[in-house]
């Protein structure tokens, strides 16, 4: 009978070592490919979200307006007090890690931009109409969420002897009397937001906003910028 030769312990150890090196290389290759795929997906998703966010901010800021009263037949009483300007966070540059934490998107975080949109009241017409104010607020959370909140408030018909709605005051935007009607998370993984007011031009005061996002599992970044001109004055303010 032919004798069978078994593997020696040394041969088993060498074979095991070679197999381990092969499997480690395969796992590293798979892991690298998976990471690259995840980063590419994140870039695509974030780029789309940033485009939608800057479009959202631009569209809303262009609706900014002072509360006003239209008095028949052709008088307009406009309230241009600072309460109803477009407010820009005085910090200028906000890091998400330094902002307020929120439990859900229905809560505002650290305010970045906040302003009023007004539907004017009508006095002296056949049908009188109360003013309707919408308050827009953009904020940044500690968790890197860029949030949007919209509040609404109906203003009772004003007193003509006090200059109509021009005497209205709202030191806080939104005021406690306003009702939350929309809350939205526009983009996540935000690392920072830079906001500032440029020099006034003949057409208004441009406001710039830069939103920078950071991939949670790496150093991949994505940012987008916009410049928009509100229909009201822009002021630096404390949230």
Q: Write the pLDDT tens digit of every residue in 152-189.
A: 999 999 999 889 998 899 999 999 999 999 999 999 99
The pLDDT assigned to 57 comes to: 98
Residue 209 placed within a domain:
yes
Using a pLDDT cut of 90, give the percent of the chain over it. Answer: 75
Pairing of strands 190-197, 207-214: antiparallel
* Torsion angles phi and psi, residue 217, rounded to 5: -115, 40
Q: For residue 148, what are its two tokens?
A: 């949007």
Count of domains for the chain: 1
Omega prior to 164 cis, within 30 of 0: no
DSSP string, 90-120: TTSEEEGGGSPP-SSTTS--EEEEEEEEEE-
Identify whether 8 is part of a domain.
Answer: no
* Terminal Cα-to-Cα distance of the chain (whole angstroms): 93
Residue 127 has pLDDT above 80, yes or no: yes
For 55-64, write each residue's pLDDT tens digit: 999 999 999 9
CA nearest 119: which of 108, 105, 133?
133
34 in a domain, yes or no?
A: no
The pLDDT of residue 23 is 61
- Does any domain span residue 31? no
Confidence of residue 128 (pLDDT cuts 50, 70, 90): very high
Higher pLDDT, 10 or 38: 38
Confidence of residue 28 (pLDDT cuts 50, 70, 90): low
Q: Is residue 16 part of a domain?
A: no
Domain that holds residue 233: 40-237
CA-to-CA dists, residue 154 to 14, 18, 134, 159, 168, angstroms: 81, 76, 9, 15, 12
**5 domain residue, yes or no:** no
CA max distance for the chain: 122
105 in any annotated domain: yes
Compute the distance between CA of residue 216 and CA of residue 187 in angstroms, rounded to an integer. 14
Please give the model's pTM, rounded to 2 decimal places.
0.85
| Residue 27 belongs to some domain of the structure | no
DSSP tally for the chain: helices H, then strands E: 1, 13
Q: Does residue 9 have a pLDDT over 80?
A: no
């Amino acid at each position: 009978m032919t004798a069978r030769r078994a593997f020696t312990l040394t041969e088993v150890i060498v074979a095991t070592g070679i197999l381990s090196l092969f499997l480690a290389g395969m796992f590293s290759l798979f892991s690298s490919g998976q990471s690259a795929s995840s980063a590419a997906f994140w870039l695509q998703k974030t780029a789309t979200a940033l485009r939608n966010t800057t479009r959202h901010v631009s569209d809303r800021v262009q609706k900014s307006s002072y509360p006003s009263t239209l008095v028949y037949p052709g008088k307009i009483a406009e309230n241009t007090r600072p309460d109803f300007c477009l407010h820009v966070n005085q910090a200028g540059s906000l890091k998400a890690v330094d902002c307020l934490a929120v439990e859900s998107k229905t809560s505002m975080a650290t305010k970045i931009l906040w302003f009023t949109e007004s539907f004017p009241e009508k006095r002296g017409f056949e049908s009188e109409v109360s003013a309707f104010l919408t308050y827009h607020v953009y904020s940044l959370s500690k968790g890197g969420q860029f949030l949007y909140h919209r509040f609404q408030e109906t203003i009772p018909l004003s007193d003509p002897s006090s200059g109509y709605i021009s005497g209205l005051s709202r030191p806080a935007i939104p005021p406690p009397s306003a009702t939350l009607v929309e809350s939205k998370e526009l983009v996540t993984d935000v690392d920072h937001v830079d906001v500032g007011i440029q020099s006034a031009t003949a057409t208004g005061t441009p406001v710039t906003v830069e939103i920078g996002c950071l991939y949670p599992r790496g150093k991949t970044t994505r940012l987008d910028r916009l410049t928009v001109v509100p229909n009201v004055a822009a002021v630096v303010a404390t949230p």
